[in-house]
Structure 1
């Protein structure tokens, strides 16, 4: 009996289909980058720091192009790369389930293919949005089927130019690697860390955490909890506290209304994906200044997770003005009054701050940011945009003062702070494949040009004949005139 097309086919069948697709496309490409040694050490063509979604997509794109001399490092334990099982606390992903994400144009590599192979088409049709933990399961499978080896528990401690064309990737526990290119696939906080208002500096840490931190929500049962912010992470942390049994939840929001429209989603198109990077600087700034000014609303599902609890209170027009400890509690001052809490979570996002990134201690002072060369029109000032790195077309850093750190151009910023230079290609699911291909093609171009003399020598030495000498039938020579007369 034929199997119902709605039944799950199993991952073995899906993986066989993927192998066939790759074979028909002649992928991965055959390795072509000449191997290299320096100071008695094998040189790695590309070291990727981070094995979350962006790091995996970058590695897979490079491998498909025949660049297989890679090392992928991640400080997290295996299966916990990225935010999905740590500080991401949403129930489901925000993105629609139908997006191809990091599939790189391969239908059998999509989340949908993986899900239907496991659970069947009917289960797919009934699925609303992708559960967060299930997305992580898919990424683990992605890594396996694309042949990406991840070295877990490895932290990069510093990137040091070893020459104009080599980077020494120093690590805490895996020695030092020599790399021709380094990719920073280090996520939302890839050039800094969590942003916490200065007023928290003098407050005991037992009273507060950032949404990026590991938080013991079970310990908040029966407690008075506050959350600062109105973004997705603020709502998800508020919901987590309420679901753990918080006695009360106060959500402090600076704005007088919650943002309701997700601006960038509204204009999503191939034009934005491929055209944003080519915009003049003033237009790039104008687009993102508008988006940042309007802000992105929290997901409706996350907001409903909070509002369904009767002990949750939303305080609009209530920026936190001051904090103080009093009687073994935390007092939060806002324009609307004071609130006594047991614990406060800052859902205040991330900041670019190179002092928080030890791996950039050496090269960081040479990185050129937008503030170093671009002055926005009056009324368009935006500190977060000004702190964006000014990147080359292949996501590479550029020097603040040309000539002082040439190797900087071999470090590629494939994380969220690249948005002003390249658009939303590195921080979210929708366009990550386009970003990974742009990165991989740029690195491939650089590697070929750098080795052009070697490739020319290969061209000269190539001597496999196309013709074997027997293609044209031998024919007798025509008779001469003397022979004819005889």
Structure 2
């Protein structure tokens, strides 16, 4: 056994002790520096984070690392069920390579690998191919605990409002109780649906709702045992839902793919690098648009192991060049109509992604007509139009919303104090909020921007502290004045 093995923490308790030592050596967290604000006798949060999944937790951790401790995340889910990992995600393992440092923010003892090895050993980590999905959730629960991150669970955002004093008001509901929180900055860490909802094509509304689901819905897969299930889509989520239905005992699963082939090449992974992570933000809008539209047209292929998880079942059927043209009720089932035929089914699951749609997110209605979208900021050349990307927010360098022109000064200022650290940030910032590998880089970009804006807003306070600071470093007894010493010597001579 080499020296590196000898120095690995041998238990979770030992790892936590090592983490505390690492934080001590790094002088983390640093002293708090943001002045406390109170309104009507109530404390104002420096930063309120909506969502306590991966993006929300790493946001809190990055803020704490910069001395911004008056921050809290609010999540509608119970503790331990934030995000997709143990709710609607149906893959067996993460799709991200296990070596990705994820939300560790440059602290080795905070990585998934350190957490895993402390419990199961270094060899078990080497033997593991990909990270089991439930285990990732266990890691995030630990991450939140050891960093003492402030999260309010079972708390749903009802509405965001901007106030005349520049503060942002959050109307929240916890159980039967309604409350209000004021914050100087707000971060929307709301995941894949971000500023909208699961995307359901118009054809889905042609049959009663109990026949259709979205891949991100909470589906009781046990109920499909012995049933016929249709999956619409060819991405990772489509394969995950198909596999889950097959493993639950579905009699038949049909996967309908509109293309002539399932996408095979992941272009973004192929060009992934720190250059892309750090440099994409500086590209001109035309280049960003090209990356996004070309990537959408190529699409991201499902992982090989996800497809094999489906195809190993004899009752799984892949239908290529088969867009769903219609759904037709037929007694107690539905017929899926494609150019190649009609297929009887008991349930149709649309794995068709997410869209920005403020009409489906009334809590964000204050933003609907006030933030700049990509379609407002950039006109693509003919043939490069894309409605979905055009509907994404056109964000500033620290993920802040860009206010539309013509708003009053106070509203303009307040809108720019709300940040989108969720999937809709991808066209503006690159694939930095869409998964695990670059999430720390995104959180650093976000938190440094928030720190800068808070410091500048409080510039008068900080300048006054600078000018009035009068604690002496020296007291005058640390040295002797040579001239006075010589004069005393002559006088006594």
TM-score by length of structure 1 reads 0.97
1:339 maps to 2:343? yes
Alignment-derived partner of residue 325 in structure 1:
329
Deviations 1:433-471 (A, max 9, x none): 000010000000000000001011111222221112111
1:237 maps to 2:245? no
Which of 260, 266, 269 is equivalent to 2:264? 260
Alignment-derived partner of residue 412 in structure 1:
419
Does structure 2 retain, via aligned residues, the 8 Å contact 1:5–1:121? no
1:251 maps to 2:258? no
Secondary structure of the corresponding residue to residue 230 of structure 1: coil
Alignment of 1:27-66 (within 5 A): 27-66=28-67
Over 3 Å counting, the alpha-carbon distance change for 1:481 and 1:212 in structure 2 is closer
Q: In structure 2, how many angstroms separate the alpha carbons of the residues matched to 1:236 and 1:329?
A: 23
Secondary structure of the corresponding residue to residue 194 of structure 2: coil
CA deviation after TM superposition for structure 1 residue 228, in Å? 0.2
Q: In structure 2, how many angstroms separate the alpha carbons of the residues matched to 1:446 and 1:172?
A: 29
Q: In structure 2, how many angstroms separate the alpha carbons of the residues matched to 1:162 and 1:472?
A: 57
Q: In structure 1, how many angstroms separate the alpha carbons of the residues matched to 2:490 and 2:57?
A: 79
Over 3 Å counting, the alpha-carbon distance change for 1:471 and 1:228 in structure 2 is same
Which of 312, 320, 327 is equivalent to 2:316? 312
CA deviation after TM superposition for structure 1 residue 172, in Å? 2.0
1:184 maps to 2:188? yes
Secondary structure of the corresponding residue to residue 263 of structure 2: coil
Alignment-derived partner of residue 9 in structure 1:
10
Alignment of 1:150-189 (within 5 A): 150-163=151-164, 165-173=166-174, 174-189=178-193
Which of 270, 294, 299 is equivalent to 2:303? 299
Q: In structure 2, how many angstroms separate the alpha carbons of the residues matched to 1:480 and 1:71?
A: 64
Over 3 Å counting, the alpha-carbon distance change for 1:470 and 1:77 in structure 2 is same
CA deviation after TM superposition for structure 1 residue 195, in Å? 0.6
Q: In structure 2, how many angstroms separate the alpha carbons of the residues matched to 1:236 and 1:87?
A: 10
Alignment-derived partner of residue 383 in structure 2:
379
Identify which range, 37-46 or 212-221, moves more after superposition.
Answer: 37-46
Q: In structure 2, how many angstroms separate the alpha carbons of the residues matched to 1:145 and 1:424?
A: 28
State the Cα RMSD in Å: 2.0
Which of 460, 478, 483 is equivalent to 2:486? 478
Alignment of 1:321-470 (within 5 A): 321-404=325-408, 405-406=411-412, 407-470=414-477
CA deviation after TM superposition for structure 1 residue 3, in Å? 12
Q: In structure 2, how many angstroms separate the alpha carbons of the residues matched to 1:7 and 1:479?
A: 66
Q: In structure 2, how many angstroms separate the alpha carbons of the residues matched to 1:71 and 1:242?
A: 41
Over 3 Å counting, the alpha-carbon distance change for 1:483 and 1:94 in structure 2 is closer
Q: In structure 1, how many angstroms separate the alpha carbons of the residues matched to 2:7 and 2:213?
A: 46
Does structure 1 retain, via aligned residues, the 8 Å contact 2:277–2:430? yes
Does structure 2 retain, via aligned residues, the 8 Å contact 1:6–1:122? no
Q: In structure 2, how many angstroms separate the alpha carbons of the residues matched to 1:397 and 1:39?
A: 28
Q: In structure 1, how many angstroms separate the alpha carbons of the residues matched to 2:279 and 2:165?
A: 31
Does structure 2 retain, via aligned residues, the 8 Å contact 1:6–1:120? no
Over 3 Å counting, the alpha-carbon distance change for 1:448 and 1:339 in structure 2 is same
Does structure 2 retain, via aligned residues, the 8 Å contact 1:73–1:152? yes
Over 3 Å counting, the alpha-carbon distance change for 1:334 and 1:122 in structure 2 is same
CA deviation after TM superposition for structure 1 residue 373, in Å? 2.1
Secondary structure of the corresponding residue to residue 28 of structure 1: coil
CA deviation after TM superposition for structure 1 residue 246, in Å? 0.6
Secondary structure of the corresponding residue to residue 185 of structure 2: strand
CA deviation after TM superposition for structure 1 residue 8, in Å? 6.3
CA deviation after TM superposition for structure 1 residue 473, in Å? 3.3
CA deviation after TM superposition for structure 1 residue 403, in Å? 3.0
Secondary structure of the corresponding residue to residue 444 of structure 1: helix
TM-score by length of structure 2 reads 0.95
Q: In structure 2, how many angstroms separate the alpha carbons of the residues matched to 1:393 and 1:6?
A: 41
Alignment-derived partner of residue 126 in structure 2:
125
Secondary structure of the corresponding residue to residue 54 of structure 1: helix
Q: In structure 2, how many angstroms separate the alpha carbons of the residues matched to 1:480 and 1:153?
A: 77
Gaps of 5+ in 2: none
Deviations 1:124-157 (A, max 9, x none): 1101100000000000000011110211000011
CA deviation after TM superposition for structure 1 residue 474, in Å? 5.6
Q: In structure 1, how many angstroms separate the alpha carbons of the residues matched to 2:206 and 2:311?
A: 32
Runs of 4+ residues over 6 Å off in structure 1 = 1-4, 480-484
CA deviation after TM superposition for structure 1 residue 483, in Å? 7.1
Over 3 Å counting, the alpha-carbon distance change for 1:480 and 1:337 in structure 2 is closer
CA deviation after TM superposition for structure 1 residue 479, in Å? 5.0
Does structure 1 retain, via aligned residues, the 8 Å contact 2:188–2:422? yes
CA deviation after TM superposition for structure 1 residue 191, in Å? 0.6
Secondary structure of the corresponding residue to residue 91 of structure 1: coil
Q: In structure 1, how many angstroms separate the alpha carbons of the residues matched to 2:85 and 2:127?
A: 23
